């Protein structure tokens, strides 16, 4: 499974030839359910162009979770929508279970959509307030003609019970539930068509901390029970670390570093990841005042309508060199399952100039 070489026009440069980016290894490597290659998405609005996604590649193995973490303008939510073809990419490839999504016919896509679903950030905002729970959770079953009548009700009750709700909730409206319960309804709805992949787009960000833990536990339990794969998108590094087998750190439309959560926290390599990890408020009740200061945060995330030339991160990077200002870094593999897109890791030699 070697990665192909991309042209620099796509913005992200080539993987060092001969190298392979593998998903997190395990005793037996699970097969790849979903793959995105060199995804690019540009939006054109009123004269300027937003480079939302600029060359993103990732692979989601069956039954595993890939996390996408990043701040404003990172493009992570756009990647979520591209993955499900809720948006079409400007260029790049999408494969689900071996099927090329961009070449699939409308009928094929409809069948595939049963297998990929999404849970959104705002539980109350993403449910139709005029729909009772039975309708909200059952709608996918109706649309895909999976069940109707008595069978539909039974299936919805089964789904509600799976997420910790019950038949007593069938005829309620979403506003009658708390945020955490509404998110469970959203998850039940996503499970309705028995999907293989669920995209969780900031699925717990709007929830209270104690409820967040409940929903994370539910998601993990469902994954174990149903063999689900997740594309888990969040801005909270601690949450992503808990959920994901592999984390992709995004900055301004690109994946700047990839690796296992614990390693990223303990030993971040990309200057942006270092800044991100340092910035996360540290809950260390034993320690006095000052935080663990690895990299002082500088500047603010730049706008995707105006990405800096060369390496997009260079204006905020304390280690930037002349090369960084003009040349986009390639993705370098530094260990098993770890890649970094930064000139500092170029095995070919020093970053030129200073």
Partner 1 sequence: MPSPPLLEVKDLYVQFPTPRGVVDAVTGVSFTVAPGETVAIVGESGSGKSVSSLAVMGLLGTGRISSGSVLLRGEELVGTDPERLRELRGTEMAMIFQNPMTSLDPLFTVGDQIIEAIRAHRRVSRREARARALELLREVGLPDPERRIRSYPHELSGGQQQRVMIAIALACEPALLIADEPTTALDVTVEAQILDLLRRMQRDHGTALLLITHDMAVVAEMADRVVVMYAGQVVEQGPVREVLRSPYNPYTRALIDSIPMPTTPRNRPMPAISGSVPTPAQLPPGCRFHPRCPSAQRRCGREVPPLLEVGVGRASRCWLHETTGASPAAVGGEVRRAG
Q: How far is the CB of 21 from partner 1 (least distance, A)?
A: 22
Strand, coil or helix: 147? coil
Q: How far is the CB of 71 from partner 1 (least distance, A)?
A: 4
Residues found near partner 1 in the complex (CB under 8 A): 71-72, 178-181, 208-214, 216-217, 220-221, 235-239, 241-242, 261-262, 265-266, 275-276, 278-286, 291, 297, 300-301
3-state helix, strand, coil in the chain (%, to 5): 30, 25, 45
User: Please, which residue, 19 or 278, has the CB nearer to partner 1?
Assistant: 278
For the record, the structure tokens of 241 come out as: 């670390």
Tokens 């929903």 label which residue?
Answer: 215
Q: How far is the CB of 241 from partner 1 (least distance, A)?
A: 7
Q: How far is the CB of 255 from partner 1 (least distance, A)?
A: 17
User: How many DSSP H helices and E strands does the chain contain?
Assistant: 10, 12
**CB within 8 Å of 275: residues ≥ 6 apart:** 295, 296, 297, 298, 316
User: Please, which residue, 247 or 351, has the CB nearer to partner 1?
Assistant: 247
Q: Are 44 and 223 in contact (CB under 8 A)?
A: no
Q: Are 300 and 324 in contact (CB under 8 A)?
A: no
**CB within 8 Å of 240: residues ≥ 6 apart:** 67, 68, 69, 232, 234, 247, 261
Q: How far is the CB of 215 from partner 1 (least distance, A)?
A: 9
Spatial separation of the C-alpha atoms in residues 74 and 54, rounded to whole Å: 10
Q: How far is the CB of 346 from partner 1 (least distance, A)?
A: 25
- Report residue 68: phi and psi, to 5°: -120, 120
Between strands 229-234 and 197-201, the pairing is: parallel
User: Please, which residue, 108 or 300, has the CB nearer to partner 1?
Assistant: 300
User: Please, which residue, 152 or 320, has the CB nearer to partner 1?
Assistant: 320
Between helix 209-226 and helix 179-191 the angle, nearest 10°, is 20
Q: How far is the CB of 203 from partner 1 (least distance, A)?
A: 14
User: Please, which residue, 301 or 337, has the CB nearer to partner 1?
Assistant: 301
């Amino acid at each position: 499974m070697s990665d192909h070489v991309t042209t620099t026009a796509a913005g992200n440069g080539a993987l060092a030839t001969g190298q392979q980016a593998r998903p997190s290894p395990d005793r037996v490597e699970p097969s790849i359910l979903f793959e995105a290659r060199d995804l690019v998405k540009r939006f054109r609005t009123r004269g300027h162009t937003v480079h939302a996604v600029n060359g993103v590649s990732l692979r989601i193995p069956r039954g595993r979770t890939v996390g996408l973490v990043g701040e404003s303008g990172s493009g992570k939510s756009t990647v979520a929508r591209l993955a499900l073809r809720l948006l079409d990419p400007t260029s790049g490839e999408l494969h689900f279970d071996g099927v090329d999504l961009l070449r699939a016919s409308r009928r094929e896509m409809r069948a595939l959509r049963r297998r990929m679903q999404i849970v959104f950030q705002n539980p109350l905002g993403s449910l139709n307030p005029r729909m009772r729970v039975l309708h909200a959770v059952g709608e996918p079953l109706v649309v895909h003609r999976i069940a109707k009548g008595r069978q539909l009700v039974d299936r919805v009750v089964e789904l509600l019970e799976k997420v910790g709700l019950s038949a007593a909730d069938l005829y309620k409206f979403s506003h009658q539930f708390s945020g955490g319960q509404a998110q469970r309804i959203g998850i039940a709805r996503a499970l309705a068509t028995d999907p293989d992949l669920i995209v969780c787009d900031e699925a717990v960000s709007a929830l209270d901390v104690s409820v967040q833990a409940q929903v994370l536990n539910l998601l993990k339990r469902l994954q174990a029970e149903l063999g689900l794969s997740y594309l888990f998108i969040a801005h909270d590094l601690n949450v992503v670390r808990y959920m994901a087998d592999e984390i992709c750190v995004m900055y301004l439309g690109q994946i700047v570093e990839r690796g296992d959560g614990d390693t990223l926290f303990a030993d971040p390599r990309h200057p942006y990841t270092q800044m991100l990890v340092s910035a996360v408020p540290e809950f260390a009740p034993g320690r006095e005042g000052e935080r663990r200061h690895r990299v002082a945060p500088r500047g603010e995330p730049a706008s995707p309508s105006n990405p800096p030339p060369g390496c997009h991160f260079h204006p905020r990077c304390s280690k930037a060199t002349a090369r960084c200002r003009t040349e986009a870094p390639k993705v370098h593999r530094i260990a098993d399952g770890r890649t970094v897109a930064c000139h500092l890791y170029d095995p070919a030699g020093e970053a030129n100039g200073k």
